[in-house]
Chain A
Amino acid sequence: MIDIIQNTVDGVMIGSSYALLALGFTLIFGTMRRLNLAYGPTIMAGAYLGTYAFLALDIGVLPVALLVVAGAAVAGLYVERLCFRPFGEGAAIASMISSFAVWMQIEEAASLALPHHLNAFPRLVSGQPITVGPFFFRLDHLAMLAVAAAAAALVHVVLHRTRFGLGVRTLIDHRRAAELVGVPVTHTLTLAFLLACAIGGLAGFLIAASEAQITPMFGMWATTKGLIAMMIGGLGSVPGAIMGGLALGVIEAQAQWLFGPQVRDLIAWGVLFAVLALWPGGLLGGRQVAEQQAVQRRV
């Protein structure tokens, strides 16, 4: 029982970074209805920029964080211009294939810049875990949870208290209607894409800082974690992305404790397939989709 609670706590803390990854992913998928396979590699580009500066210039952890976020946003701009802007509505698969090609580019560029497989990354905090009764909390995981929660709250405010946020929400909901009320579509999409990559960059920084290392595999890892978490929670839904991230963290922690790390990833993908097959809209999105369909039938 104590193990299960400890796993759940660990899962929630790791899951907070998955939630951020999913949040960025869902902003892109929700507004564009496109799958950006280069999302993880974009984040990796930022993380490599950060670790490059850390190794070459020996800068502190906060400048590294800024570099990672900025680098991810710049790489995101490259992906958006190359894979998303040139294709019209309906060419979702062309965008996906292009983003896959850019993924290969970024991975190659990263290993050209830093040829070692493992590269050191600065820690955000270090110290002994805090113990409360039979439970213990790693400091870096607590920091991860705190920063992720603050970032998610900030995103919520941006989406609900700014004109840009209103535009993003209308685009997630109905693109044509958004055009009709006068949302500048192209401009808003680009900004949403950049915001998404910056959020992903922050998540990437938190994860790399917790692991204290980064490898070229990080790109694929981040894409798959973000994708699974987003899909479990339901598309284009911000609370869904957060719940999906936390759920994925807890599922992985329990699966790893029960079956070991190799089966953990298998279970994560299996859960995703089951969720999609049983509730096509995701756990949180499903009910709304069903309601919408019922309404359309009535009309």
Chain B
Amino acid sequence: MLQVSDVETAYGKIKALKGVSLSAAKGRITCLLGPNGAGKTTLMYTIAGILRPLRGSIRLDGQEIAGLTSAAIVSRGLALVPENRLVFPQMSVKENLEAGAYRRKDAAGIAEDIARMYARFPRLQERREQLAGTLSGGEQQMLAVARALMSRPRILLMDEPSLGLAPMIVEEVFSIIKSLNRDGVTIFLVEQNAHMALGVAHHFYLMEQGRVTFSGEPGKLAEDEVIQRAYLGTRRASA
């Protein structure tokens, strides 16, 4: 469904992505693991159209989306739940959800989807008039996911959804990921928490220093080796 080939992205003169190729299959959960600074977030922002790649191609259902604006990419059915959630802090929960549907014009469908989000995340309904900045970290994560779903994406990108959350909340986030996937949403997930990620992924990639260094199914690589490489990187691990 999503095919990234040979993508390079740079900040000024520093190349953060040095030719990344990977793909996410329809209806599955694909996971990308790697140490801090490997370029995972850069890749997510590049796919979502926030950063422009220097070269390479990004295809969504065969159509080229590299170089499009983020607005056009959302319209084509790709939504990103960003690292650190980035909810609209001064807007209410309900307004956040409405903002998530910015690209849609069907008022009735939007209202219906908001009701659906409240059914899936009852806590958001309880707090629908509250400013999003006053929610707890876990609630903000639910809101960020719900906001992304409001654009009716065909594929959902999630960048470190477990970051900074208590273990119990992390469990909850991953059960939501699984249930979303059961409902047919394709998911491409970046995680630091290798154990949880390997528990839900159908396929996973390892990324180190701007390059993909492993691709396979969970179980193809011993979990402790994955963890070692995902947290420390190969170079330091072998040294």
Contacts and interface: CB of A to CB of B under 8 A. Distances in A.
Interface of A: 163, 166-167, 169-170, 172-174, 176-185, 288, 291-292, 295, 298-299
Contact of B87 (A163, A177, A184, A185): A177
Interface of B: 48, 50, 69-71, 73-75, 79-80, 82, 86-91, 95, 98-100, 102-103, 105, 131, 133-137, 140, 147-148, 151, 164
Considering the complex of A and B, which 4 residue pairs feature the smallest CB-CB distances, nearest first?
A: A182-B74, A173-B88, A177-B86, A182-B103
Nearest to A187: B71
Contact of B82 (A166, A177, A182, A299): A177
Contacts of B140: 299
Contact of A181 (B133, B136, B147): B147
A185 B147 CA distance: 18
A259 B148 CA distance: 57
A181 B151 contact: yes
22 contacts: A163-B102, A166-B102, A167-B102, A173-B90, A173-B91, A174-B87, A174-B88, A177-B82, A177-B88, A179-B70, A180-B48, A180-B79, A182-B71, A182-B75, A183-B71, A183-B99, A184-B69, A185-B71, A291-B133, A295-B135, A299-B140, A299-B164
A180 B95 CA distance: 15
Given A173-B88, A182-B75, A292 B133 contact: yes
A140 B70 CA distance: 48
A298 B131 CA distance: 15
A180 B88 contact: no
Determine which residue in A177, A178, A184 has the highest number of CB atoms from chain B within 10 A of its CB, and name it.
Answer: A177
B89 A292 contact: yes
A174 B86 CA distance: 8
Given A179-B70, A181-B102, A173 B86 contact: no
B99 A166 contact: yes
Contact of A182 (B70, B86, B91, B164): B70
A185 B151 CA distance: 17
Contacts of B133: 288, 291-292, 295
A115 B136 CA distance: 61
Given A180-B70, A184-B71, 8 more contacts: A163-B102, A166-B99, A170-B102, A180-B79, A180-B148, A182-B75, A183-B71, A291-B131
Contacts of B69: 184
A169 B73 CA distance: 21
A176 B71 CA distance: 12
